[in-house]
């Protein structure tokens, strides 16, 4: 029994030792296994971290390059914008200058007296571009002291040109929105034009060597256009159309563009007149040459008459000489030695 207990004790101790050994072995194996997995994970993590770091570095470099390119493009855009702003600034200055010029022109056109000076100035510039100074005159005075803005000297007489025009009522027509008031301003403007036609017609003076018509110069195309195309020209003035009224008064209403065409026509008339004058001068010279030829013909006829007399005298003298020769032949009993030479008289035909 004691041996059995001893053996059982020894077996129990052995089993305990084996169990302890197995426990430690498993724990060590587990530890080593865990340490191996952690190493692999660490290596994987380390590799992933390196890849992430490399990717971050690459992304950073790309971002830096992209940012630099964007900065360059932004600099170009800023430079272009600055240049455009500079150009806009210059354009703005020009616009301001132009606006000031328009304001100045508007101020001129608001003042009737200054507007008249402006119209005369523009008219004179047109005349300068077409005619020589000897072919026209500004501010021409008639015998009664009336002064027309300009005249053109033509072969048919003086061509009067009046450049006065009215804008007050016209501007009111353009700006007014109320139909009733607009109708009043249209009637007033229509009356202004009729008065201008009457005033221009006063310069038609054939007894002072003017042609039987006159130009009414309207320096603004807008007024001229409204007069011809829009309703202003078709409204009745004393039951007659304004344009028809102007024709009856022998007044030609012209604008800067149409007046130039009229001037070209007048210029062609001047050229035709110059050609006609040149032809007259040529005919006069031919007539003078004809008279000289007639005088020369008279002298030639007289010379022919004198030559005929000389030839006749010559022939008579030869006849007398022939008679003397015959007498000599009879006396001297020798052959005839002189043969008379007869000349023909020059023809006077």
Say if residue 121 is in the same domain as residue 225. Answer: yes
Q: What is Dmax (Cα atoms) for the chain?
A: 241
- Tens-digit pLDDT profile for the chain (349 aa)? 545 455 556 556 655 656 656 665 666 556 555 555 555 655 665 665 666 667 667 776 776 777 677 767 767 777 777 777 777 767 666 656 644 554 444 444 454 444 445 567 778 888 888 888 899 999 999 999 999 999 999 887 899 999 876 667 666 766 767 778 777 877 787 788 888 899 999 999 989 999 888 999 887 777 777 676 655 444 444 435 778 888 889 898 888 888 878 777 766 766 677 677 777 777 787 777 777 777 777 777 777 777 777 777 777 776 776 776 676 666 766 666 656 555 565 565 5
Whether 175 and 88 map to the same domain: the answer is no
* Residue 152 burial (10 A CB sphere; 0-12, 13-18, 19+): buried
Q: Select from 179, 174, 143, 169 the least CA-distant residue to 158.
A: 143
Domain boundary pick from 90, 110, 130:
110
Position 217 in a domain: yes
Residue 86 and residue 155 in one domain: no
Nearest alpha carbon to residue 170 among 119, 227, 239, 91: 227
Domain count, the chain: 3
Cα-based torsion angle of the residue sequence 308, 309, 312, 313 in order, rounded to the nearest 10 degrees: -150
95 plus 144 within the same structural domain: no
**What is the 3 state secondary structure string of 262-315?**
HHHHHHHHHHHHHHHHHHHHHHHHHHHHHHHHHHHHHHHHHHHHHHHHHHHHHH
**What's the domain range around 344?**
272-349
276 and 349 assigned to the same domain: yes
CA-only gyration radius of the chain, Å: 62
Same domain, 91 and 123: no
The answer to the question of residue 235 being in a domain is yes
Same-domain pairing of 235 and 128 = yes
Q: Tell me, yes or no, whether 167 and 228 share the same domain.
A: yes
Picking from 174, 170, 152, 171, the residue whose alpha carbon sits closest to that of residue 161 is 152
């Amino acid at each position: 029994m004691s041996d059995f207990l001893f053996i059982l004790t020894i077996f129990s101790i052995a089993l305990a030792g084996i169990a302890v050994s197995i426990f430690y072995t498993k724990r060590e194996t587990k530890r080593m296994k865990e340490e191996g997995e952690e190493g692999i994970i660490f290596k994987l993590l380390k590799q992933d971290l390196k890849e992430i770091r490399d990717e971050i570095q690459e992304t950073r470099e790309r971002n830096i390059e992209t940012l630099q390119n964007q900065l360059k493009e932004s600099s170009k855009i800023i430079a272009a914008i600055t240049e455009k702003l500079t150009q806009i600034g210059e354009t703005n200055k020009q616009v301001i200058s132009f606006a000031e010029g328009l304001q100045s022109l508007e101020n001129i056109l608001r003042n009737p007296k200054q507007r008249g000076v402006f119209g005369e100035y523009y008219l004179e510039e047109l005349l300068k571009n077409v005619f020589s100074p000897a072919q026209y005159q500004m501010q021409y005075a008639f015998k009664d002291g009336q002064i027309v803005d300009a005249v053109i000297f033509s072969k048919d007489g003086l061509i009067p040109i009046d450049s006065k025009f009215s804008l007050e009522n016209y501007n009111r027509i353009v700006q007014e929105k109320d139909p009733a008031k607009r109708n009043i301003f249209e009637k007033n403007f229509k009356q202004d034009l009729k008065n201008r036609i009457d005033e221009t017609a006063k310069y038609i003076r054939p007894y002072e060597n003017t042609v039987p018509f006159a130009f009414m110069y309207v320096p603004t195309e807008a007024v001229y256009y409204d007069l011809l195309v829009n309703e202003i020209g078709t409204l009745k003035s004393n039951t007659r159309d304004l344009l028809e009224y102007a024709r009856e008064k022998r007044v030609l209403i012209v604008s800067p563009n149409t007046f130039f065409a009229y001037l070209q026509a007048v210029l062609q008339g001047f050229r035709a007149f110059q050609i006609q004058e040149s032809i007259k001068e040529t005919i006069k010279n031919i007539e003078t040459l004809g008279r000289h030829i007639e005088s020369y013909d008279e002298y030639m006829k007289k010379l022919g008459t004198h030559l005929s007399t000389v030839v006749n005298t010559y022939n008579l003298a030869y006849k007398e000489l022939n008679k003397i020769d015959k007498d000599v032949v009879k006396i001297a009993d020798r052959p005839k030695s002189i043969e008379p030479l007869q000349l023909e008289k020059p023809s006077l035909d």
